[in-house]
Amino acid sequence: GAVVSQHPSRVICKSGTSVKIECRSLDFQATTMFWYRQFPKQSLMLMATSNEGSKATYEQGVEKDKFLINHASLTLSTLTVTSAHPEDSSFYICSGRIASDTEAFFGQGTRLTVV
């Protein structure tokens, strides 16, 4: 299957700083990528849909100024958590799809800890 690479896998940052998470599709072009947040022992919560060359579409309740998404190329989407707080600590996962009727391919996830 297609490969999505997410980096870093783990990051610890101080409160008030910003953290950038990268999501790359290695062997396919993803015009659309998705960012999810997963709380312990819970399902994935879709945060936003990242569209190449245009603004991301955020789900209700997700602060777009706090979770900045950039999708500058067909193979790279980034999520920046700005002014991080301890409550932003979570597992963040990205995914991409080759076409609208195929399965989603997921990155390995990023464990963010804000101290």
Partner 1 sequence: GNSVTQMEGPVTLSEEAFLTINCTYTATGYPSLFWYVQYPGEGLQLLLKATKADDKGSNKGFEATYRKETTSFHLEKGSVQVSDSAVYFCALNTGGFKTIFGAGTRLFVKA
Among residues 78, 97, 104, 84, the alpha carbon closest in space to that of 17 is found at 84
Q: Return the residue of 22, 28, 49, 62 that touches partner 1, per CB under 8 A.
A: 49
Measured from the CB atom, the residue of 58 and 82 that comes closer to partner 1 is 58
Token pair of 99 as six digits:
């076409």
**With 0-12 CB in 10 A as exposed, 13-18 as middle and 19+ as buried, what is 107?**
buried
Beta strand 90-97 with 104-106 is antiparallel
Applying CB under 8 A, does 35 fall inside the site for partner 1? no
* 107 contacts partner 1 (rule: CB under 8 A): yes
Site for partner 1 in 59-98 (CB under 8 A): 93, 95, 97
Residues in touch with partner 1 (CB under 8 A): 1, 4, 6, 32, 34, 41-44, 46, 49, 93, 95, 97, 100-101, 103-109, 111
